[in-house]
């Protein structure tokens, strides 16, 4: 079997490539990645010489190239996306281009090359926000209500995928996941930012009152969920993938990291809130559990401890990332 993975040098994509090649060593994977700021081939060193692995640098908006490299593919797994809300607020244009136009190019190529299966990886942020006081959770029937340019662009891509299924018979599946964390996480996101800043002796910035709630999903659990969807999922169906946390705030997450790293809470620095900041996300993943037998295996506490250890043991990896261009962005965002 041949898989074509977009964004396979990014955080979730690279973890998926490593997971798949370990579990299914006979399969072939083409990793197609533009190598923007978040793409890092160092994530894939352990498979770069594997004869069943091929890397192609390219833009999913390049129609001619995408059509050429997707010939003969059995499964297309689409991770590639601009994914950081803060960056979308500063400049939405790359999000419109990559997340909407790029997805359209992939869909057209999938039809032209008669790819048997198209899996689109999306986010719970397309559903908007839930009240802090509620026990409500997102389901596959929750209306879309995106609040940021990022989530709006992902919502548009979801709609395109479903439209291509309804109109042209595209054999697709779709998953909306909660916030991922784990090894190779780009260090501008909350958890790796906190860990690496503490190692560097810096403050840990937290927006507003810090009471924003996210449903945290360990990246390896996410990879297993996609595996289950590809192997057993129903074509034309959407699956919601979440973790084992129950309404844990960003402030609580930071305090857990502080406890694991043996520093005190004076490292926390409250900064001005960002516009349109969603208060609460929570995912009901009971449907994928009942239909496909998937459930997250890693508790938040154990996975967070493993993640802290990974960043402690891989300083060279993230220190290279937190230099240069990243510093300019960090200064702009957190002033």
Which tokens belong to 30?
């083409």
Which tokens belong to 194?
């906190």
DSSP letter for 111, please.
H
Instruction: Provide the angle, in degrees to the nearest 10, between the axes of the packed helices 300-313 and 250-261.
Output: 60
Burial of 177 (C-beta count, 10 Å sphere; 0-12/13-18/19+):
buried
Residue 331: per-residue pLDDT: 62
Residue 100 domain-assigned (yes or no): yes
What CA–CA distance (Å, rounded) separates 229 from 209? 37
What CA–CA distance (Å, rounded) separates 110 from 76? 8
What amino acid positions are annotated as catalytic residues? 124-125, 150
Residue 328 domain-assigned (yes or no): no
Residue 75: per-residue pLDDT: 98
3-class DSSP state of 78: strand
Residue 243: per-residue pLDDT: 96
Mean pLDDT of the region 102-115: 98
Mean pLDDT of the region 239-257: 95
Best CA proximity match to 1, nearest among 21, 9, 18, 15: 21
Mean pLDDT of the chain: 94
Residue 167 domain-assigned (yes or no): yes
Give me the domain span that covers residue 32.
2-182+215-244+281-300
Q: H-helix or E-strand containing 317?
A: helix 315-321
Q: Which residue has the higher pLDDT, 158 or 83?
A: 158
Residue 219: per-residue pLDDT: 98
What CA–CA distance (Å, rounded) separates 222 from 216? 11
Residue 7 domain-assigned (yes or no): yes
Residue 334: per-residue pLDDT: 52
Percent of the chain at pLDDT above 70?
96
Residue 321: per-residue pLDDT: 86
What CA–CA distance (Å, rounded) separates 60 from 79? 11
| pLDDT tens sequence across 193-235 | 999 999 999 999 999 999 999 999 999 999 999 999 999 999 9
H-type helices in 4-143, by residue range?
A: 11-23, 63-69, 85-90, 93-95, 103-112
Q: What is the CATH number of the domain that holds 229?
A: 3.40.50.720
Number of structural domains the chain divides into: 1
Residue 292 domain-assigned (yes or no): yes
Residue 84 domain-assigned (yes or no): yes
Residue 192: per-residue pLDDT: 97
Q: Which residue has the higher pLDDT, 231 or 325?
A: 231
Residue 130 domain-assigned (yes or no): yes
For 82, residues 6+ apart whose C-beta sits below 8 A from its C-beta are 36, 88, 94, 95, 98, 99, 150, 153
Residue 210 domain-assigned (yes or no): no
| pLDDT tens sequence across 57-66 | 999 999 999 9
Residue 167: per-residue pLDDT: 98
Residue 100: per-residue pLDDT: 98
The answer to whether residues 176 and 124 touch, using CB atoms and an 8 Å cutoff, is yes
């Amino acid at each position: 079997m041949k898989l074509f993975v977009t964004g396979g040098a990014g955080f979730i994509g690279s973890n998926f490539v490593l997971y798949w090649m370990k579990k299914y060593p006979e399969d072939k994977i083409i990793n197609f990645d533009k190598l923007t700021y978040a793409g890092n081939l160092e994530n894939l060193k352990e498979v770069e010489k594997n004869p069943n692995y091929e890397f192609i640098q390219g833009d999913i908006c390049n129609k001619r190239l995408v059509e050429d490299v997707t010939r003969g593919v059995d499964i297309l797994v689409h991770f590639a996306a601009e994914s950081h809300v803060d960056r979308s607020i500063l400049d939405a244009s790359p999000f419109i281009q990559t997340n909407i136009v790029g997805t359209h190019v992939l869909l057209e190529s999938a039809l032209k090359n008669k790819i048997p299966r198209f899996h689109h990886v999306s986010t719970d942020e397309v559903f908007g926000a839930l009240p802090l006081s509620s026990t409500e959770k997102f389901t596959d029937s929750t209306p879309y209500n995106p609040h940021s340019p990022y989530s709006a662009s992902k919502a548009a891509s979801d709609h395109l995928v479903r439209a291509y299924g309804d109109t042209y018979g595209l054999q697709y599946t779709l998953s909306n996941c909660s916030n991922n964390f784990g090894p190779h996480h780009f260090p501008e996101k909350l958890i790796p930012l906190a860990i690496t800043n503490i190692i560097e002796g810096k403050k840990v910035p937290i927006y507003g009152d810090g009471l924003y709630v996210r449903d945290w999903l360990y990246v390896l659990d996410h990879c297993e969920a996609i595996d289950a969807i590809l192997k057993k999922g129903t074509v034309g169906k959407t699956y919601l993938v979440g973790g084992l946390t129950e309404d844990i705030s960003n402030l609580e997450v930071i305090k857990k990291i502080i406890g694991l790293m043996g520093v005190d809470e004076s490292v926390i620095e409250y900064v001005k809130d960002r516009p349109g900041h969603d208060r609460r996300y929570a995912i009901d993943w009971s449907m994928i559990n009942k239909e496909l037998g998937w459930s997250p295996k890693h508790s938040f506490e154990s996975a967070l401890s493993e993640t802290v250890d990974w960043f402690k043991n891989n300083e060279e990896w993230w220190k290279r990332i937190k230099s240069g261009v990243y510093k300019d962005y960090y200064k702009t965002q957190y002033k």
